[in-house]
Each structure stands twice: as C-alpha cells, then as structure tokens.
C-alpha cells in the first residue's frame, strides 16, 4: 500500500525549503562587467541583485533590484546563469540564484544614467576579468566567468556552488 494521501497544505509543508535571488550582468563592449560594493559590506563586491520577495519571480527581482540599487529601469534580457548552492553549515537553507543579461552599457552611459542609492551601495565600477578574483568572493568570480562565457556563446549555464559540473576546469 502506498503512502497516505495528504491534503495539499500538509504535503507542501513536507517539501524542502530554499531561498532564491536574482541579479543582472551589465557589461560593456570590452567585456567588463559592472560590479557594486554594497554599503553594508566591506569585504567584497557583487553584481546588482538581491533576494526574491514573497510572490516575486526572478526576472522581476532582477529588474527591481537594479532600479533600487542603481536608479535605472532596466528590462533584463535572457537568463544566463542558474546557480545552486547547497545548505550551509551555518544553517542557511539551499539557495538558487538567477543571473540575467543586463545589457550593454558603456562607461559614459553608466556615468550619465546610474544614480546609485547610497544607502544600498558604497561604489560601482566596471571590472575586467583580471580584477574579478581581487574584487569578488571566489564563488562570485566563478559565476562571472561563466556568465561572460555564455554571453559570448549565446547560451545558458547551470552552476553547482559556482562550478559548472559539465566542465571540469570551472
């Protein structure tokens, strides 16, 4: 005999819980990616983005986080990267992150269009591949390398804790 049938609310309560986030990879013609330094952190830079709110979908989150952090209404493009991060020793539940193409933006255009929220961001800047390992946490640098690659290829990539399980060198 199979398991007893549960009412939907009881069944859903038995399923695993995870958190989710989304961000935008805004880049320029020479493959630099816009990174931001959150005002609440002094140890690393990130890309614009944040956690999904109740009832939000990842695309909406990426759009509203860019608007909140950088003051521009940007319609993110295609999905570039999906990242799965397992549960952490500190008790943080598993995390799934979505990174969308934030489009091309030159340095001049960024300087004219971006109006960072100083409560959210201390700084922003375009960063080269060579700078990612210095500015970003290792997992974020790996994500940007993959994001840059799939931007050029026109594809999407799945990462497990920042690494592409189909590419041993990632």
What is the share, in percent, of the chain residues with pLDDT greater than 90?
76
pLDDT at residue 13 in the model: 85
In the Cβ-directed half-sphere of 28, how many Cα atoms lie within 13 Å? Answer: 16
pLDDT tens for each residue of 62-112: 999 999 999 999 999 999 999 999 988 898 899 999 999 999 999 999 999
pLDDT at residue 134 in the model: 95
17-160: what fold? Nucleoside Triphosphate Pyrophosphohydrolase (3.90.79)
Query: Cα–Cα distances in Å, from 168 out to 51, 88, 147, 164, 165?
Result: 29, 23, 16, 7, 7
């Amino acid at each position: 005999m199979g398991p007893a049938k549960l009412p939907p609310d009881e069944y859903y309560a038995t399923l695993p819980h995870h958190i989710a986030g989304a961000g935008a990879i805004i880049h320029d013609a020479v493959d630099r990616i816009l990174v931001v330094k959150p005002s609440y952190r002094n140890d690393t830079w990130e890309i614009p983005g944040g956690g999904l709110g109740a009832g939000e979908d990842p695309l909406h989150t990426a759009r509203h986080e860019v608007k909140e952090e950088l003051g521009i209404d940007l319609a993110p493009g295609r999905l570039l990267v999906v990242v799965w991060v397992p549960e952490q020793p500190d008790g943080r539940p598993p995390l799934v992150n979505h990174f969308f193409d934030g489009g091309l933006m030159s340095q001049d255009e960024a300087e004219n269009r971006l109006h960072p929220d100083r409560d959210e961001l201390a700084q922003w800047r375009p960063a080269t591949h060579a700078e990612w390992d210095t500015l970003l946490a290792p997992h974020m640098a790996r994500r940007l390398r993959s994001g840059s690659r799939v931007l050029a290829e026109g594809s999407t990539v799945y990462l497990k804790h920042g690494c592409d399980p189909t590419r041993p060198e990632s």
